[in-house]
Amino acid sequence: MSNVFDPRPATHAVASQTRAARATREWQQLDAAHHIHPFSDMGSLNKVGSRVITKAEGVYLWDSDGNKIIDGMAGLWCVNVGYGRKDLAEAAYQQILELPYYNTFFKTTHPPVIELSQLLAEVTPAGFEHFFYCNSGSEGNDTVLRVVHQYWASVGKPGKKYVISRKNGYHGSTIAGASLGGMGYMHEQMPSQVSHIVHINQPYWFGEGGDMTPEQFGLQRAQELEAKILELGAENVAAFIGEPFQGAGGVIFPPSTYWPEIQRICRKYDVLLCADEVIGGFGRTGEWFAHQHFGFEPDTMTLAKGLTSGYVPMGAVAINRRIADALIDGGDFNHGLTYSGHPVAAAVAVANIRVLREGGVIDQVKHATGPYFQDTLRQALDGHPLIGEIAGAGLVAGMQLTEDAKTRKRFANGGDIGLQCRDHCFRNNLIMRATGDRMLLSPPLVISKAEIDELVGKAKLCLDLTAKDLGLL
């Protein structure tokens, strides 16, 4: 036995020993020495050092100094079933032993991807029976472009090439995802973008609605789609893509008039309606998918994040029957990824969706914790000197920081105040995100009412501290 060299257990023991012994400062130095972070200014980050998160359970994270932090963002909007679920870990472990990898190219498939597809057909609205897999939301939106173009080519309208999306929309960070997205600072980084993508204005009433009522403004912004289609020529327009509510853009909930009008326009000009459900999907608003909350019917849905609750990477595109029929009859679809339908990711997704459905998690968001969160937040913050609007439904909310709530006057340097508030969150062991001058919450969907009280209490504390900094309290 001792003659047989088996490096695995020993290596593992050494690794976890070293891990436990390492002090925060050492982690930070190594991180600064070798790791480039996403969406970060590494020069200034390396000077202060990153926060090192070492473990998590339920809605809580722990850092390397032993601080217990309440995660008001479910990681990056993804850990819907909360941290530390043994059933998801078990699903991954068993699948790795059984079949850790095989591809789905070359006339081949495997049980986990079949089970996941069947399950997705059950939980998605009628009309969605077909699913294409990838590893992320960005790749999902790349796939949407491929599907849309293949569709129009296969029904004999290859001229329909333009895809219309929105300013301040977020569709990921691959070249296609960033091109679809409406984040100017991401466009500036690229010498070229994917062609045939054009942007219209966002339905952000608080910031851009002027003297209009939200309802008038929602209609007007939707009608920009019609104007753009007419400008390009309907025979040249393939699709419109949007997040049902903008997530990274600041949890912007469009006025009630917006989506019905968008849908009417898409139908009128035969333009495909693509919903990016990467954040909204899998229960965030209390419905399975956010478009159900807003009452429209998309032709494709981009899925990721909550699909696996972030336990392993996976993305997917749900394709309605009209498009799927054309794809199936349309010859070769020249798109695929080594890990399309990865068996371990698929097994985890299946376990995750079962928790959301059989575990009653989404029902609970719809009927109990969602309304409780929205009410508690409003009770705590209505009339707060910094808050101009609270947008949200279910377990997602965006809080607008404002200089004057009545006139909807925004701070000239609003982003700075958001970051100031976020610094207070750091110091008070709360994860609440700042996007410009909006503070965002999107906790794990398993959060209890007592934990919601804690979350909202801490959010109010940090907003109070920020208001005090500004002499407003």
Q: How far is the CB of 145 from ligand PLP (least distance, A)?
A: 13
State the Cα–Cα distance between residues 424 and 431, nearest whole angstrom: 10
Q: How far is the CB of 135 from ligand PLP (least distance, A)?
A: 8
Indicate whether 348 belongs to the interface with ligand PLP (CB under 6 A). no
Give Cβ neighbours of residue 258 (< 8 Å, ≥ 6 apart): 203, 218, 219, 221, 222, 294
Indicate whether 136 belongs to the interface with ligand PLP (CB under 6 A). yes
Q: Of 164-172, 218-226, 359-367, 453-461, which part binds ligand PLP (CB under 6 A)?
A: 164-172
Which C-beta is closer to ligand PLP: that of 138 or that of 154?
138
Give Cβ neighbours of residue 336 (< 8 Å, ≥ 6 apart): 104, 105
Among 60, 132, 170, 245, binds ligand PLP (CB under 6 A): 170
Which C-beta is closer to ligand PLP: that of 142 or that of 261?
142
Q: Of 134-142, 264-272, 292-300, 316-324, which part binds ligand PLP (CB under 6 A)?
A: 134-142
Indicate whether 218 belongs to the interface with ligand PLP (CB under 6 A). no
Among 75, 82, 172, 414, binds ligand PLP (CB under 6 A): 172
State the Cα–Cα distance between residues 125 and 277, nearest whole angstrom: 13
Residues that bind ligand PLP (rule: CB under 6 A) add up to a total of: 14
Q: How far is the CB of 129 from ligand PLP (least distance, A)?
A: 23
Spell out, one character per residue from 354 to 393, where the chain touches ligand PLP: x when CB under 6 A holds, - when not.
----------------------------------------
State the Cα–Cα distance between residues 401 and 385, nearest whole angstrom: 9
Rounded to the nearest 10 degrees, the angle between the axes of helix 370-381 and helix 449-469 is 30
Among 137, 286, 298, 394, binds ligand PLP (CB under 6 A): 137
Among 304, 319, 439, 456, binds ligand PLP (CB under 6 A): 304
Indicate whether 276 belongs to the interface with ligand PLP (CB under 6 A). yes
Applying the rule CB under 6 A, the residues between 224 and 243 that interact with ligand PLP are: 243
Q: How many CB atoms lie within 10 A of CB 297?
A: 17
Which C-beta is closer to ligand PLP: that of 141 or that of 374?
141
* Residue among 78, 80, 84 nearest 58 (CA): 84
Q: Of 137-145, 375-383, 385-393, 405-413, which part binds ligand PLP (CB under 6 A)?
A: 137-145
**HSE-CB of 116 using CA atoms within 13 angstroms:** 30
Q: How far is the CB of 304 from ligand PLP (least distance, A)?
A: 5
- The continuous run of DSSP H or E covering 121 comes out as helix 111-123
Phi, psi of 74 (to 5 degrees): 45, 55
* DSSP strands (E only) in 185-342: 197-200, 237-242, 272-276, 300-303, 315-320
Among 70, 145, 225, 248, binds ligand PLP (CB under 6 A): 248
Long-range contacts of 54-57, Cβ-Cβ distance < 8 Å, separation of 24 or more: 54/19, 56/83, 56/84, 57/83, 57/84
Which C-beta is closer to ligand PLP: that of 142 or that of 464?
142
State the Cα–Cα distance between residues 307 and 298, nearest whole angstrom: 18
Q: How far is the CB of 361 from ligand PLP (least distance, A)?
A: 20
Indicate whether 342 belongs to the interface with ligand PLP (CB under 6 A). no
State the Cα–Cα distance between residues 434 and 449, nearest whole angstrom: 24
Binding site for ligand PLP (CB under 6 A): 136-138, 141, 170-172, 243, 247-248, 276, 278-279, 304
